[in-house]
Amino acid sequence: MTRCQFSLPLCGTSGQCSEISLTAAGPSSKGDVDDYTGRCHQKDRHRTEMICKHREDFMKLWPDAKRSHSPTLIFVLCLASCLGPSRVSFALDEAKIHVAGTPNITSFVYQVGKEKGFYREEGIELQPIMAGMLQGIQGLIGGSFDYSQMLGQGGGAILRGAPLKIVMAFDTRPSWFLLGGKNMKSLQDLKGKQLAVSSFGAALDQMTRELLPRFGMEPMRDVVLRAIEPPPNRLAALLSGAIDAAVLTHPETIIARRQGFNELLFFGDHIEFVSAGVVATEKNISQKPDFVRRFIRGALKTFYWIKANEKEVAARLAKATKSSESDGLELYRTGVKLFSQDGTIPRSLQERMISMQRKVLQIEKEITPENVYDFSFVRAANKELGKGESS
């Protein structure tokens, strides 16, 4: 029989907090929650500290429980056995994530994860916040955000020396479409025209500059690039005739097609590019590794749930984009095909991403994948969840 005793601050729904002294006992050779019992003594006191870290102390005493049950679940069940039907709420770590404004399958990882409670299971209150790509990465570096979804802009910042790391990758190919005016039939019709992309240096800008030369056109010489964001503004500029062509998200592409604009290129057919996932600060990685670990577990749970639930995710996409069921299904099936296998990308793709970004950003310094990527948290989470290749 193993025993542990410690005191915790616990907050009720009324806003008042009390100190809970917990004594719990259970067999050291089993991980069955039914075998754990506990009792507690409550002493009224106003306390507001976080309690999430105490579950780690709990699990150090009962390591066998990790094999078959979530540490958080074991910990909560033990407290529940003490408090009976009392209504309590646990303090959660807030995580502010910089996200894209356009609804698509990769941005849904955070929305769905929050709504399905995958982050709360990890002791995290997720706060997705929309911001421009450049502003979001600047906010991440400055501490306004804990994480960012934008791997293109984030990778570019890392190459310039920002203290960040890419710690998870959702996709391996881009889901961008190049739409031209109603009289444009091929990419060659772009010559001498204005093409709207995102902010210069962002993932979309990098991809466009990489792709155009493959079709015999030099950016800014044969085609004038214009930085217009967020994506809905590019669509509006195309529909109004303010620009000749635009690179759009899939939902906006559906709208433009209906207005008679022509799809000239699907980026995902021609280039590998990692654009969405998780960028974290080196400070959080080194000083708050458990916070990063739990955030990645929440993202990874959602990532696999989206892969396995076509019908519900397609319906969500249709609702978010105000489109039909068939359009929602098209958005889902196109998007999920671009997903990475397990939240990581192979070293060969890491090296190609770095080479491409160095070329676009004109960075001469040699940079290794270890300077940009750290998938150790994803690999560990995959192992814990029994998912992925983790190689």
* 25 strand-pairing partners: 3, 37
Between 56 and 111, residue with greater pLDDT? 111
Q: What is the mean pLDDT of residues 187-192?
A: 94
Strands (E), the chain: 2-12, 17-26, 37-44, 88-89, 93-99, 124-130, 147-150, 164-169, 177-180, 194-197, 224-227, 245-248, 262-266, 276-281
Residue 17: pLDDT over 80: no
Between 105 and 4, residue with greater pLDDT? 105
Alpha carbon distance 106, 339 (integer Å):
8
Q: What is the mean pLDDT of residues 173-197?
A: 93
Alpha carbon distance 370, 284 (integer Å):
17
Which pLDDT value is given to residue 49? Answer: 32
Which pLDDT value is given to residue 242? Answer: 96
Superfamily designation of domain 93-173+274-385: Periplasmic binding protein-like II (3.40.190.10)
Q: What is the DSSP string of 124-175?
A: EEEEEEE--HHHHHHHHHHTS-SEEEEHHHHHHHHHTT-SEEEEEE-BSS--
The per-residue pLDDT for range 353-388, each reduced to its tens digit, is 999 889 888 899 999 999 999 999 999 999 999 986
% the chain with pLDDT above 70: 76
% the chain with pLDDT above 90: 62
56 pLDDT band, cuts 50/70/90, is very low
Alpha carbon distance 9, 51 (integer Å):
7
- What's the length of the chain? 391
Residue 197: pLDDT over 80: yes
Alpha carbon distance 109, 114 (integer Å):
9
Between 26 and 358, residue with greater pLDDT? 358
Which pLDDT value is given to residue 76? Answer: 53
Alpha carbon distance 203, 209 (integer Å):
10
Between 31 and 247, residue with greater pLDDT? 247
Which pLDDT value is given to residue 132? Answer: 82
Q: Name the pairing type of β-strands 245-248 and 93-99.
A: unpaired
The per-residue pLDDT for range 122-172, each reduced to its tens digit, is 999 999 999 888 889 999 999 999 999 999 889 999 999 999 999 999 999
Q: Any idea where the domains of the chain sit in the sequence?
A: 2-89, 93-173+274-385, 177-269
Residue 83: pLDDT over 70: no
Alpha carbon distance 103, 145 (integer Å):
20
Contacts of 89 (CB under 8 A, 6+ apart): 11, 12, 13
Which pLDDT value is given to residue 323? Answer: 87
CATH number of the domain at 177-269, please?
3.40.190.10
The per-residue pLDDT for range 287-339, each reduced to its tens digit, is 999 999 999 999 999 999 999 999 999 999 999 888 899 999 999 999 999 99
For residues 324 and 251, the answer to whether their CB atoms sit within 8 Å is no
For residues 250 and 334, the answer to whether their CB atoms sit within 8 Å is yes
Which pLDDT value is given to residue 241? Answer: 94
Alpha carbon distance 302, 311 (integer Å):
15
Which pLDDT value is given to residue 160? Answer: 94
Q: What is the DSSP letter of 92?
A: -
63 pLDDT band, cuts 50/70/90, is very low
Other CB atoms within 10 A of residue 220 CB = 9
> Do the two domains 93-173+274-385 and 177-269 of this chain adopt the same fold?
yes
Point out the least confidently predicted range of 71-75, 158-162, 204-208, 231-235. Answer: 71-75
Tokens found for residue 120: 């709360």
Which pLDDT value is given to residue 90? Answer: 55
Residue 98: pLDDT over 60: yes
Which pLDDT value is given to residue 78? Answer: 54
Which pLDDT value is given to residue 165? Answer: 98
Alpha carbon distance 45, 338 (integer Å):
52
Other CB atoms within 10 A of residue 311 CB = 11
For residues 78 and 20, the answer to whether their CB atoms sit within 8 Å is no
Q: What is the mean pLDDT of residues 191-197?
A: 95
Residue 6: pLDDT over 70: no
Distances (CA, A) of 69 to 73, 80, 351: 7, 16, 38
